[in-house]
Amino acid sequence: MKASKEKYLMLLAILCLCLVCLPRFNGNTSFVKQTPYDAQYFNAYVQYFRGEIPLAPIRPMSNARFLLPLLAAPLPFAADTSLNLINFFCIALSLYFLYAILKHIGVDPKHRWWAVFIGIFSFPTFYYACISYVDAGAILFVSMGVFAWLKEKYWAYVLAILLGLAAKETSIILLPFAMASSIYKKQYKILITLVAGVFLFLLLHYFIRLYAPVSVGEIRFKPLQLSLEAAQNNLNRSHTLGSFFLSFGIPGILLLRTGLKNKWQIYSAASMGAWGGILGILSLYLFSFFTTVADGRIIWHAYVFMFILIFERRAFIISKQESN
């Protein structure tokens, strides 16, 4: 694909991303009558970092996810606008890393751009990207971490995990991704290091939650507990299953089609790692289902892994044909 065409596609992708994010920007309910409930807490955190009086409680569960509000605080806009501009940047950059990941594993330009545009025109990008939540940051650092691991830039991989932890704890899925990849390569010393990394990640998350700023009367730290009541609540919420299937979306359908067609074959450490990441994501979703309110944001984290599995087989076959 010519460089000039790539530039036009990049500009088109940015324009499309703007159009997809705009209807829900700042939690606008003109098109979707659903107010983002937790947005008030993250907007309040931006105000806290500005030295202003927060308009909502400063609560531990939201404030453990401090990185994006901290980055938004210096911007000269309202708290929600500043935070969602950071969110938009995170999603745009995550799509760049998605493109780079697919290029690294040998996917042709046409299918790389297919992945980018499917990612843009997806339910999670429309519904969750710019509503003053912080999942966009987690998506960015997961994509960054996957790219760093595949490129064997391990310092960048560790940096992505640490930044991801400061954005949202769901970035822990970078660890099962790397574990599965290490198992495929039989790198058992690295695997042991990664297992230790899980405990270190959880310990750091504990301390972040323990010392996050809180409002008067807020409980400083309360661990999530498994509850059948939470599961029943999720089963009774149409939004729970609806957002799951909508977030699963086209990437999920393509993955099922590819997997059934190819009998779920694993071709490389990248695809093995992708399955590890997806298993981690499904575990997180199941955990949230039995502890809190579950929705499609967790499934959104799986997109980078889905696209690896969808397009890698074609790249593998082409590579094998060229080598012969």
pLDDT at 145 over 60: yes
pLDDT for position 317: 54
Which range is least confidently modeled, 138-147, 151-160, 190-199, 235-244?
Answer: 235-244
For all residues of the chain together, what is the average pLDDT? 92
Domain locations in the chain as residue ranges: 3-323
What is d(CA 164, CA 169) in angstroms, rounded to the nearest whole number? 7
More confident residue, 223 or 174: 174
Residue 171 DSSP one-character state: G
**Overall pTM surpassing 0.85 (yes/no):** yes
Which range is least confidently modeled, 103-117, 131-145, 219-233?
Answer: 219-233
Residue 211's φ and ψ, nearest 5 degrees, are: -110, 10
pLDDT at 221 over 80: no
What is d(CA 124, CA 85) in angstroms, rounded to the nearest whole number? 17
DSSP per position, 214-275: --TT--S-------HHHHHHHHH-HHHHHHHHHHHHHHHHHHHHHHHHHTT---SHHHHHHH
pLDDT at 37 over 90: no
pLDDT at 299 over 60: yes
The string of pLDDT tens digits covering residues 244-298 is 999 999 999 999 999 898 888 888 999 999 999 999 999 999 999 999 888 999 9
Q: Enumerate residues 6+ apart whose C-beta is below 8 A from 254.
A: 118, 306, 310
Q: Enumerate residues 6+ apart whose C-beta is below 8 A from 258.
A: 309, 310, 313
Instruction: Band the pLDDT of 322: cuts 50, 70, 90.
Output: low
Q: Which residue has the tokens 């972040």?
A: 208
Which range is least confidently modeled, 9-23, 26-40, 72-86?
Answer: 26-40
The string of pLDDT tens digits covering residues 158-198 is 999 999 999 999 999 999 999 999 999 999 999 999 999 99
Instruction: Band the pLDDT of 319: cuts 50, 70, 90.
Output: low
